[in-house]
Amino acid sequence: MPNDTSSRPSLPRAGRTPARPRPAAPLAGPVPILTAAVLWGTTGTAGSFAPAGAPAAAVGAAGLTLGGLLLFLTAPGARALPRTCTVRERALLVLGALAAAGYPLTFYPAVARTGVAVATVVALGAAPVFAGLLGLLTGRSRPTVRWALATGVAVLGCAVLVLGPRLAGDRAPVDAAGVLLAGLAGLSYAGYALVGGRLIAGGHASGAVMGAMFAGAALLVLPVLLRESGPWLPTARGALVVLYLGAVTTFLCYRLFGYGLRHTGAQTATALTLVEPAVAAVLGVVVLGERLPAVSWCGLGVMAPGIVLLTLPVGVRGRRR
């Protein structure tokens, strides 16, 4: 897969002549992924405007269902991909759909049990670690010292940022089951990022891969939506929240994320999305009137160098597929 942490080039499969990739701008991969992460950081604020009594899992499932449908209908080749790909690639699509569906079904319950701070730092902090381990175990890539250093700095800054209130003196107990669910959410996120990156590296269009994968995820979460939907969904506020979550934070963001995966490894991509909790924290202060202690702002300062190090190109050799 196109990965700045890989030391071995990918070999084309027998019987398929992959098209020669076009040269990409140095920041062609990181910038779309960072843009998606910034928009993902608005989901918590947007979800807070849902009508009272709307279950968090149902709101997330509704956004995924709408966004998955839009991705599937607008991406050329998404409908044909499951029929034209190999048996192994079809199995990867199924795994990717399961992982994409697993994220909202584990993350939102984790938030309900542990709160936004712990769930966010566990899920997003674990995702790049899981991505590196999965890439290493599958033999697709070998993390570099640069990736490990930058990811470690970003994870540390993310932890300090999100857990700042607890570090400042809030000693509320943490729910172990909620922490486990958040860890599973991080594993789910890393899983579908790796699957998407592998299929895109295999010569498939990023839009088709994301469209097929998230259409399957939408079908998987549809029963949850049907079971937990209520009178909040047809209201103007409920519809607007779901429309934003589906059209912007799912449809648009995963089109950007899929494009970014054409030029960026999944390990780096998942690490770059650590900017999401920073955006969420700032919006919480500016829009929702929340307060962050000084230690949280220090965490934001610690995280910034790691994000910059992951974003900047590593030179001609590092960008070569």
Residue 264: predicted pLDDT: 78
pLDDT tens digits, one per residue of 31-81: 888 899 889 888 877 877 888 888 878 888 999 999 999 999 998 889 999
**Alpha carbons 195 and 86: distance in angstroms, whole number:** 14
User: Position of tokens 């730092």?
Assistant: 121
Number of other CB atoms surrounding residue 172 within 10 Å? 11
Q: What pTM, to 2 d.p., does this model score?
A: 0.73
The predicted-structure confidence for 272-319, as pLDDT tens digits, reads as follows 777 877 787 777 777 877 666 777 778 777 777 776 776 665 543 344
Contact 132, 151 (CB under 8 A): yes
Q: How far apart are CA 67 and CA 79, in angstroms?
A: 16
Most confidently modeled range among 15-29, 92-106, 145-159 = 92-106
Name the residue with tokens 């994409």. 100
Cβ atoms 64, 218 nearer than 8 A: yes
Mean per-residue pLDDT, 99-113: 82
**Residue reference for tokens 């991505």:** 131
Q: Reply yes or no on whether the pLDDT at 116 is more than 80.
A: no
Tokens coding 140? 């697709």
Q: In angstroms, rounded to a whole number, what is the distance separating the alpha carbons of residues 284 and 305?
A: 23
State which H helix or E strand residue 122 sits in.
Answer: helix 116-137
Write out pLDDT tens, residues 140-179: 666 677 777 877 777 787 777 667 766 777 665 667 788 7
pLDDT in tens, 287-298: 877 666 777 778
